[in-house]
Amino acid sequence: MAKPILKFENVSLSYDGKLVLDKINLTVNEGDTFILLGAAGSGKTVLLKLAMSLIQADSGRIELLGHDITHLKETELFGIRTEVGVLFQEGGLFDSQNIADNVSYPLRNQKSLAAPEDEIAARVQESLDFVELGHTLDKFPSELSGGMRRRVGIARANVTNPKISLYDSPTAGLDPITAHTIMSLILKQRELRKTTTVLATHRYQDGSMAANYHWDDAIHDVVRAAPYGSYANLNTTFIVMNEGRIVFSGTQQQLEASRDPYVSQFILHQPPPKLGPSGDQGHQLSA
């Protein structure tokens, strides 16, 4: 049986009297790919930050890598966070540091990851080579394009070989080609390093790619894991969020068959067709 690696139980959070997350329940198992779909302001980023306890929930319980992190102190969280990689929506790169220092930051600042200088340099180089930016060591984030900054963010998130990687809108604001490159690198990380992946995005294409493509190291690109017209799924669960609530949870097939107006509009960019296919429509969680 798959081991739960991240678990939310009835988690709620309010900001300035407004409910941002409402009784969220979800479980991410080891090896899973978890796609959080939702429009801007639906609560995706807040959920990812709660998963690392960067913000505190008002109520409920959050379990990460077997630890109840709901009420842990900041100092107690540092050790747990060493096993989590995170790519922030804005990249979160330190603009006063060059790329090498950015990527080596977790290795230099987390006691449990302390390593000799030559080993740190080798791991930084390997991590940057992984995202095909091995030549940018001495550059500063401001000298790189938006896509390159995201790739450096992926390198930094995964330089510690985390058990779970959280990606917050990794393709937001990027052109389709760069977005494809970023998604390919995320899938490469998922498969070559066996990392559990949680991906928050507003682009359905990203989730579809995660569910149906895998990394082929021989051709150095992603390839479709199932013929066109069928679903590979690849241990992928889709969650759709709307105004702090989970309105759908299920597979891609169930998602595409959903009759929920919000879900359907989100996926198809239009209201649901009047005569849709019958069958399993996933867990319709909305009223």
Partner 1 sequence: MQMDSIGVGSLPIVALIGAFSGIVMTLQMSRALATYGATSQTGQVVSISIVRELGPVLTALLIAGRNASGIASELGSMKVTEQIDAMRALGTDPIQKLIVPRLLATAFMQPLLTAIADFVGLLGGLLIAVTVIGNTANQYWSSAIDILALNDMVQGLMKPFVFAIVISLVGCFYGMRTSGGTQGVGLSTTKAVVVSSVWVFVIDVLITQIFVSLT
Residues that bind partner 1 (CB under 8 A): 49, 52, 54, 74-75, 78, 81-82, 84, 86, 88-95, 105-106, 109-111, 113, 156
CA distance 113 to 61: 28
Q: Which residues contact 148 (CB under 8 A, 6 or more apart)?
A: 133, 136
Secondary structure of residue 177 in the 3-state scheme? helix
CA distance 51 to 87: 13
> Cβ(81)–Cβ(6) under 8 Å?
no
Query: Is the CB of 133 or the CB of 240 nearer to partner 1?
Result: 133
Q: Please spell the DSSP secondary structure of 111-148, one letter per residue.
A: GGG---HHHHHHHHHHHHHHTT-TT-TT--GGGS-HHH
> Taking the complex as a whole, how short is the minimal distance between the CB of residue 33 and partner 1, in angstroms?
21
Q: Which residues contact 216 (CB under 8 A, 6 or more apart)?
A: 222, 223
C-alpha atoms less than 13 angstroms from C-alpha of 73 in its C-beta half-sphere: 2
CA distance 285 to 120: 46
> Taking the complex as a whole, how short is the minimal distance between the CB of residue 168 and partner 1, in angstroms?
9
Query: Is the CB of 21 or the CB of 84 nearer to partner 1?
Result: 84
Q: Please spell the DSSP secondary structure of 18-64, one letter per residue.
A: EEEEEEEEEEEETT-EEEEEE-TTSSHHHHHHHHTTSS--SEEEEEE
> Cβ(50)–Cβ(11) under 8 Å?
yes
